[in-house]
Amino acid sequence: MSIALAFLAQTLRIAVPYLFAAAGGVLAERSGIISLTLEGFMLGGAFSAMLGSYYSGNPWVGVLAGIAGGLVLGLVHAVATIRYKADQVVSGIAINLLAVGLTRYFLKLVFDSSSNSPRVAGFSAGTSTTALVAGLLHNPLIPLGLVALPVVAWLMYRTPFGLRVRAVGEHPEAAATVGVSVARVRYIAVALSGALAALGGAYLSLDQHQFTDGMSAGRGFIALAAIIFGRWDPMRAALACLFFAAAETLQIQLQAMQAIPSQFVQMIPYVLTIVALVGVVGRAVPPAALGRE
């Protein structure tokens, strides 16, 4: 495989968890609920997907279990922020801590391990990575991840539900006056966001065939940055995800050259995020009702 193709393939693979998480995040944020939760959703999804696959021996059951795990965490966030009007940032941070704590607790409980689950059935079993497409199709979650944001874009801009999501995120009172249930739209959006982000986590654990404590490793925050970078638009967020993944690929490739201290190479994606935030989207306007009741 040529260098360019290898770069592209790696970028796409790295992007998949970001794309899933950003797809979920865009939905929730556009409905007015802040998505600081993506990291926790991913971790929970990774763990429950592993668990599903472990007990069934079938990775697709793992995928479903991952979705279920994400839905549950999403609903907890939704109940806290919508029903009980908890501060969304705070609830998000709590969800993240909760996901860390619960996955650790049950990892210990079920597998008597503080780090890793046993190996479970996953997706990337084959050997050939000679061709870009074949390599990417190995894991069915990769093509799914690549279409996640386009599907969300369609949902958002073409369907009644999407119109309501956008209305509710901009001006909930206006939506309420025409009989749209703000709470219901948000419940659905946040639950979906949990499920989608959890798929990103499921990708991580099923691709690795095991769960590792803390394996989401900050990817949820990068996905959130991608959403902001993409100005809350699904397609632009997708581009931002690819951009961040490319930065990471670049980081990996640059490290191999060993030209600069690895600490500085490690900074690249984060510094790029800040630069992007400052340069490109400094004044990006979030959905008007984001973070409000």
- 134 touches other proteins (CB under 8 A): no
The correct pick among 189, 225, 238, 246 for binding other proteins (CB under 8 A) is 225
By CB under 8 A, the residues from 68 to 127 that bind other proteins are 76, 79-80, 84-87, 89-91, 93-102, 104-105, 107-109, 111-116, 119, 124-127
- 263 touches other proteins (CB under 8 A): yes
- 137 touches other proteins (CB under 8 A): no
The correct pick among 13, 48, 63, 68 for binding other proteins (CB under 8 A) is 13
What's the min distance (Å) between Cβ of 96 and other proteins?
A: 8
The correct pick among 56, 213, 231, 233 for binding other proteins (CB under 8 A) is 213
- 6 touches other proteins (CB under 8 A): yes
Q: For the chain, give the DSSP string.
A: --HHHHHHHHHHHHHHHHHHHHHHHHHHHHTT---TTHHHHHHHHHHHHHHHHHHHS-HHHHHHHHHHHHHHHHHHHHIIIIIS---HHHHHHHHHHHHHHHHHHHHHHHH--SSBPPP---S------SSHHHHHHTSTHHHHHHHHHHHHHHHHHHSHHHHHHHHHHH-HHHHHHTT--HHHHHHHHHHHHHHHHHHHHHHHHHHHTS-BTTTTTTHHHHHHHHHHHTTT-HHHHHHHHHHHHHHHHHHHHHHHHT-S-HHHHHHHHHHHHHHHHHHTSTT----TTTT--
What's the min distance (Å) between Cβ of 67 and other proteins?
A: 19
- 4 touches other proteins (CB under 8 A): no
Per-residue string for binding with other proteins, 31-50, x by CB under 8 A? -----x--------------
By CB under 8 A, the residues from 138 to 177 that bind other proteins are 138, 154, 158-160, 163-164, 166-167, 170-171, 173-177
